[in-house]
Amino acid sequence: QVQLVQSGAEVKKPGASMRVSCKASGYTFGSYYVHWLRQAPGQGLEWMGIINPSGDNTNYAQKFQGRVTMTRDTSTSTVYMELSSLKSDDTAVYYCARGMVRGVSMTNFDYWGQGTLVTVSS
């Protein structure tokens, strides 16, 4: 079965960087785009960007450009999201999610990771 398993919770200080991993299994890793989203406490979902696991090309939301980097390791079917220059309002649950339609970048999300809570606090 399809699974996306994310790394564990983190606590970071303002100005630091964070990196969350998302290990995929149960499907052909390179066939589906992987997205990153976040949800601040009590808030809605915010799309951060997308990575094509087969080609390594990315597309980031304008809000995060210059601060976010998404990469992948095809040998382990894992995608990574790194966010730098953290601020307190980056405190959120970060999710990876698979785009439902094979080979299509902008689509809905059929499988989600379990979420990773990142707390930014001095």
Partner 1 sequence: EIVLTQSPGTLSLSPGERATLSCRAGRNINIFLAWYQQKPGQAPRLLIYDASSRATGIPDRFSGSGSGTDFTLTISRLEVEDFALYFCQQYGSLPTTFGQGTKLWIK
Q: Whose Cβ is closer to partner 1: residue 16's or residue 106's?
A: 106
CB 22 to partner 1: min, Å:
12
Sign of CA dihedral 108, 83, 93, 79: positive
Interacting residue with partner 1 among 68, 80, 82, 115 (CB under 8 A): 115
Please identify, using beta-carbon distances, which residue of 27 and 112 lies nearer to partner 1: 112
Alpha helices by DSSP H, listed for the chain, are none
Is 27 or 109 the residue whose CB approaches partner 1 more closely? 109
Nearest to 111 by CA among 46, 56, 33, 41: 33
Q: Is 91 left (phi over 0), alpha (psi -120 to 50) or beta?
A: beta
Contact residues for 62 (Cβ-Cβ < 8 A; gap 6+)? none
Q: Which two tokens stand for residue 83?
A: 């966010």
Q: Tell me which residues in 17-36 interact with partner 1 (CB under 8 A).
A: 35
- 44 or 122, CB closer to partner 1? 44
Site for partner 1 in 54-73 (CB under 8 A): 59, 61-62
3-class state of residue 31 by DSSP: helix
Q: Which residues bind partner 1 (CB under 8 A)?
A: 35, 43-47, 59, 61-62, 95, 100, 106-110, 112-115
